[in-house]
Structure 1
Amino acid sequence: MDETHLFITFFLSLVSLIFVFKLFVHKKNINVAPSPLSIPIIGHLHLMKNGPIYRVLKHLSSKYGPIMTLRFGSRPVLVITSASLVEECFTKNDVVLANRPLLMSGKYLDYKYTTVSSAPYGQLWRDLRRVMTLELFSTTRLKSYMSVREDEVRSMIKTLIMSKDSFQNFEKVEMRPRIQAVSFNITMIMVANKRYFGTDVEDFEEADNFKKVITNVFETCGASNPGDFISVLRWIDFQGYKKRLLKLHHEWDSLSQNLIEEIKSRRSGSCSPKGEDKTFIDSMLSLQESDPQYYTDEVIKGNLFTLLLAGTDTSSVTIEWAMSLLLNHPDVLEKARIEIDKYIGQERLVQETDPPNLPYIQCIVNETLRLYPAAPILVPHEASEDCTIGGFDVARGTMVLINAWAIHRDPTIWDDSLSFKPERFEEIGNEGYKFIPFGMGRRQCPGSGLAYRVVGLTLASLIQCFEWKRVGEELVSFSEGKGITMPKEVPLEARCRARKSMSHVLVEL
Structure 2
Amino acid sequence: MADKLGSIFTIKLGVHRVLVVSSSEMAKECLTTNDRVFASRPKAMATELMGYNYATFGLAPYGPYWRQIRRIIVLELSSHHRLQTLAHIRVSEVKSSIIDIYRSWERNKGSYERVMVDMKQWFGNIIVNMVVRMMFGNHFKPGEQNRDQFQNAINRFVELMGVFVPADATPWLRWLDIGGYEKKMKKTAIETDSLLSGWLEDQKEKMNSTLDESGDQVVFMAAFLSRVKEEVKEELYGFSTDEIVKATCLLSTRGTFDVILPCNVCSSYRHDDGDSNMGLVLKKAQQELENHVGRDRKVEESDMSNLVYLEAIIKETMRLYPAAPLSLPHESTEDCIVGGYTIPKGTRLLGRHFELMPFGSGRRVCLGSSFALEVVQLIPASIIHGFEFQHPSNEQIVMTESSGLVNHIASPLELLVAPRLSPHVYGFLT
TM-score normalized by the length of structure 2: 0.91
Read off the aligned partner of 1:132 and give its amino acid letter: I
1:449 paired residue among 359, 362, 370: 370
Tell me the SS of whatever aligns to 2:235. Answer: coil
Tell me the SS of whatever aligns to 2:334. Answer: coil
2:211 corresponds to 1:273: yes
The residue aligned with 2:424 is 504
Tell me the SS of whatever aligns to 1:102. Answer: coil
1:121 Cα deviation after fit: 1.4
Tell me the SS of whatever aligns to 1:298. Answer: helix
Tell me the SS of whatever aligns to 1:497. Answer: strand
1:109 Cα deviation after fit: 1.4
Worse-matched range after superposition: 438-447 or 470-479: 470-479
> Paired residues, what number?
412
Distance 1:344 1:272 in 2: 34
Read off the aligned partner of 1:217 and give its amino acid letter: F
The residue aligned with 1:243 is 183
2:135 corresponds to 1:135: no
2:125 corresponds to 1:184: no
Does the C-alpha gap of structure 1 residues 453 and 502 become closer, same or farther in structure 2, counting only changes over 3 Å?
farther
Q: Show structure 2 runs of 5+ residues with no match.
A: 272-278
Does the C-alpha gap of structure 1 residues 118 and 316 become closer, same or farther in structure 2, counting only changes over 3 Å?
closer
2:270 paired residue among 328, 337, 353: 328
- Alpha-carbon contact 2:73-2:224 (below 8 Å) kept: no
The Cα offsets for residues 131-167 of structure 1, whole Å up to 9 and x where unpaired, read as 2121111111111111111111112111211243659
Distance 1:239 1:159 in 2: 41
Distance 1:507 1:443 in 2: 42
Read off the aligned partner of 2:31 and give its amino acid letter: F
Distance 1:370 1:284 in 2: 32
The residue aligned with 2:276 is none
Tell me the SS of whatever aligns to 1:117. Answer: helix
Distance 1:251 1:178 in 2: 24
RMSD: 1.9
1:385 Cα deviation after fit: 0.7
Larger Rg: 1
Tell me the SS of whatever aligns to 1:216. Answer: helix
Distance 2:152 2:43 in 1: 26
Does the C-alpha gap of structure 1 residues 327 and 191 become closer, same or farther in structure 2, counting only changes over 3 Å?
same
Tell me the SS of whatever aligns to 2:186. Answer: helix
The residue aligned with 1:474 is 395
Distance 1:468 1:281 in 2: 37
Tell me the SS of whatever aligns to 1:70. Answer: strand
1:277 Cα deviation after fit: 4.7
Does the C-alpha gap of structure 1 residues 497 and 216 become closer, same or farther in structure 2, counting only changes over 3 Å?
same
Distance 1:316 1:454 in 2: 9
Distance 2:81 2:149 in 1: 32
The residue aligned with 2:61 is 120
Does the C-alpha gap of structure 1 residues 375 and 480 become closer, same or farther in structure 2, counting only changes over 3 Å?
same
Tell me the SS of whatever aligns to 1:187. Answer: helix
Does the C-alpha gap of structure 1 residues 163 and 337 become closer, same or farther in structure 2, counting only changes over 3 Å?
closer
Equivalence map 1:362-441=2 (5 Å): 362-404=311-353, 435-441=356-362
1:94 paired residue among 27, 31, 35: 35
Distance 1:187 1:331 in 2: 32
Tell me the SS of whatever aligns to 1:254. Answer: helix
Read off the aligned partner of 1:476 and give its amino acid letter: I
2:309 corresponds to 1:351: no
Structure 1 stretches (4+) deviating beyond 4 angstroms?
A: 165-168
1:198 paired residue among 135, 142, 149: 142
Does the C-alpha gap of structure 1 residues 121 and 219 become closer, same or farther in structure 2, counting only changes over 3 Å?
closer
Tell me the SS of whatever aligns to 1:496. Answer: strand
Distance 1:196 1:171 in 2: 24
Distance 2:228 2:358 in 1: 33
Q: Show structure 1 runs of 5+ residues with no match.
A: 1-59, 409-434
Does the C-alpha gap of structure 1 residues 285 and 484 become closer, same or farther in structure 2, counting only changes over 3 Å?
closer
The residue aligned with 2:152 is 212
The residue aligned with 2:274 is none
- Alpha-carbon contact 1:386-1:394 (below 8 Å) kept: yes
Distance 2:160 2:389 in 1: 35
The residue aligned with 1:79 is 20
Does the C-alpha gap of structure 1 residues 163 and 364 become closer, same or farther in structure 2, counting only changes over 3 Å?
closer
Distance 1:480 1:284 in 2: 34
Worse-matched range after superposition: 270-279 or 388-397: 270-279
The Cα offsets for residues 435-485 of structure 1, whole Å up to 9 and x where unpaired, read as 311111010111111111111111111111111111112211122222222
The residue aligned with 2:113 is 169
- Alpha-carbon contact 1:96-1:385 (below 8 Å) kept: yes
If asked which structure has higher relative contact order (CA below 8 Å, sep 6+), I would say 2
The Cα offsets for residues 388-409 of structure 1, whole Å up to 9 and x where unpaired, read as 111111111110002235xx5x
- Alpha-carbon contact 2:57-2:66 (below 8 Å) kept: yes
Tell me the SS of whatever aligns to 2:301. Answer: coil
The residue aligned with 1:413 is none
Distance 2:422 2:69 in 1: 44
